[in-house]
Chain A
Amino acid sequence: MSELIPSRKDENYRYTQIPLSSEGWLPESLANCEATKESFHAWTSDFYIPALKGVEVQKLIPSREAQKNNEWIFLRSESSDSKASSKKYRGALEFVVPKGKSYKVFEFLESNAESSLLMRSIRVEEGAELEYFVYQNQALNHEFVLRHFVDLAPSAKASMRFFHKGSQRGQHRVAARIAKDAEFLLEGATHLEASQHIDVWAEMQHEGATSLSQTTVWNVLLDQASAVFNGMIRILKNCPQTKAYQSNKTLLLSEKARVSTIPKLEISTDDVKCSHGASVSTLDPDQLFYLRSRGISRESAQDMLVEAFTMPVLQHVPKCLLSEHEQASLGLKGDSHVF
């Protein structure tokens, strides 16, 4: 099965810095397990079956009370206090948002483990709605592979947002199958420094007419940090009046920071609206000047502009679920955009 694991010869993996092992491009600790191979198999054949062999698939079932009040479902990775000795962890989770229901899920990934392999399989049933936020702030020596497979039934709506701040290296892949009249919004951001590297994949597969996907990923890169955006819009046959948009925006704050953007479109239906674009910029001198002209120091002004760049994502963090200490350590200002 090892041939199922891609190598750097594959165009899509050329830019990732996930260390190559003898078996592929995964961290050593994860590469030599059948489950990992199986996960690739699942991806390449039918990505709705992301079974990890040897790992119990957890089922997420919110309490009736939570459902009634439309409360956030809080998924926390193993905490840095309780299992500090654990070097790696793997997990698989699947859940279904039943027909007509609405779920909100916050996945907070923070630990001192060396590596993690996490698979999430989500089915949003007809007319159901899902709001999902992933905040990744793993230890700075951490390596991860994180996957979200989202299957949207007709007229389902889902938004997924992610923010990557921690880890040495990681790959996050979000793949969605979008049925007729379904809508999927993907908004993600990375804020990386030193030699951090994050490889983001966004694959939108439209399988029904009048479906919609909107993908935007913002990167803020300092020092020698690097990011990859691997985006795919795939519109299958017989999906008229589908709309699919994809955008990657990067703020490069150092000469040595790098971003590789690989946008792709595969369209097999006429009568669709699609766009993809990428921009790379540094801080706007006029914006900096405006803030400084009101007495704000250069450093504070830069911090404000950097925070503003990823604000479209950060403003959706359900801060109510985090302690004040956690909010402060993540640099989340409680009142930055609400007066």
Chain B
Amino acid sequence: MNIFEIKNFSVNVEGKEIIKDFSLSIKAGEVHAIMGKNGSGKTTLSMSLMGHPAYDVTSGQVFLSGEDITDLDTEEKARKGLFLGMQHPVAIPGVSVGNFLRTALKNVWGDKVPVTEIRKRIKDEAQKMKIPAEFLSRSLNDGFSGGEKKKLETLQLSLLAPKFAIMDETDSGLDIDALKSVAEKIHSLRSPERGFLIITHYQRILNYVKPDYVHVMINGKIVKSGGPELALVLESEGYEGMSPVKNEGAKA
């Protein structure tokens, strides 16, 4: 069964079409990677799938576990199990990490999990990821290093346990050690019930989170799809050699 499906998806930003008739199907348990250079539309794709108001979806549909979620509000998509790990998590001074995580989990889990249990789970998970307790009292992403921001995105991924996660350039801004730790955490969260879409410039994160399929994106379209070896070809030959072909993503 397809855990996540994008059909004929087109997106405009300030009147300009950035994503063009984009289609991709991902089965439960699979990890797909989208690779593309700057300006190819990768972040536009991820932000519009999650429903950012600045991105205007002009056509197409998005399905999560077979349910059409195209027109749902962002929070509804999240509650149904879609997660977006952001490339540039925004700083929110005055909202503590702990308060944010508690509120998010309360909203997603509803009243069935008591607050004390929510607190415990946050603390336990943070401890597992070697995140110090005082980190939870800091303002959300405010003054965080690149590594801390991505670590927090991964903590949220782990706590929210979504059905499908889009990780947008999680590797950007990370040194080698931080990349290894974040990527290994993502890898540990792979499961037969969960799908991943890893969006990246570089092959290196895919050393830790091995993809089943790799797609190359140029000008808002998938121009080539293949197995994990495609990432290695890109690494050695660059994007220049990729000639636009018919979108093969839907077949993957």
Contact = CB atoms under 8 A, between A and B. Distances in A.
B107 A296 contact: yes
A304 interface: yes
A20 interface: no
Query: Which of B53, B75, B107 has its CB near the most chain A CB atoms (within 10 A)?
Result: B75
A287 B90 contact: yes
B96 interface: yes
Nearest to A339: B98
Interface stretch (B26-34, B78-86, B175-183, B184-192): B78-86
26 contacts: A285-B53, A287-B92, A289-B50, A289-B74, A290-B86, A291-B95, A292-B73, A293-B51, A293-B75, A293-B77, A294-B78, A294-B100, A294-B104, A295-B75, A295-B107, A295-B160, A296-B107, A298-B75, A300-B107, A304-B103, A308-B94, A308-B95, A311-B95, A337-B137, A338-B137, A339-B136
A335 to B, nearest CB: 8
B50 to A, nearest CB: 5
Contacts of A311: 93-95
Interface string B107-141: 11000000000010010000000000100110100
A336 B137 CA distance: 9
Contact of B50 (A284, A293, A336): A293
Nearest to B85: A293
A284 B73 CA distance: 17
Given A287-B92, A305-B92, A339-B133, A300 B54 contact: no
A295 B96 contact: no
Nearest to B86: A290
Interface string A264-294: 0000000000000000000011110111111
Contacts of A293: 50-51, 74-75, 77-78, 84, 86
A291 B53 contact: no
Contact of B96 (A285, A301, A337): A337
A231 to B, nearest CB: 22
Given A292-B73, A337-B99, A337-B137, A284 B78 contact: no
Interface of A: 284-287, 289-298, 300-301, 304-305, 307-312, 333, 335-339
Given A296-B104, A300-B107, A290 B78 contact: no
A338 B74 contact: no
Given A285-B53, A289-B52, A308 B78 contact: no
A173 B133 CA distance: 41
Given A296-B107, A336-B99, A290 B133 contact: no
A132 B136 CA distance: 28
Interface in B122-179: 122, 133, 136-137, 139, 156, 160
Size category, B interface: 35 or more
B108 A295 contact: yes
B75 A297 contact: yes
Interface in B55-107: 73-75, 77-79, 84, 86, 89-90, 92-100, 103-104, 107
A187 to B, nearest CB: 13
Query: Which of A285, A286, A304, A336 has its CB near the most chain B CB atoms (within 10 A)?
Result: A286
Contacts of B73: 292, 298
A305 B95 contact: yes
Contacts of B97: 339
Contact of A285 (B54, B89, B98): B54
Per DSSP, are chain A's interface residues mostly helix, strand or loop, or mixed? helix
A57 B109 CA distance: 56
A201 to B, nearest CB: 25
B133 A292 contact: no
Contacts of A339: 96-99, 119, 122, 133, 136-137
Contacts of B75: 292-293, 295-298, 301
Contacts of A336: 96, 99
A304 B104 CA distance: 11
Contacts of A304: 92, 95, 99-100, 103
Contacts of B139: 308
A301 B53 CA distance: 15
Contacts of B133: 339
B137 A295 contact: no
B100 A338 contact: no
Q: Which 7 A-B pairs have the closest CB atoms?
A: A308-B94, A339-B98, A311-B94, A294-B104, A339-B136, A295-B78, A295-B108
A68 B94 CA distance: 33
Contact of A294 (B51, B94, B119, B160): B160
Contact of B78 (A285, A292, A333, A337): A292
Contacts of B96: 336-339
Query: Which of B52, B94, B96 has its CB near the most chain A CB atoms (within 10 A)?
Result: B94
Contacts of A307: 94-95
B94 A309 contact: yes
Contacts of B51: 289, 293
B107 A308 contact: no
Contacts of A287: 90, 92
Nearest to A315: B94
Contacts of A333: 99
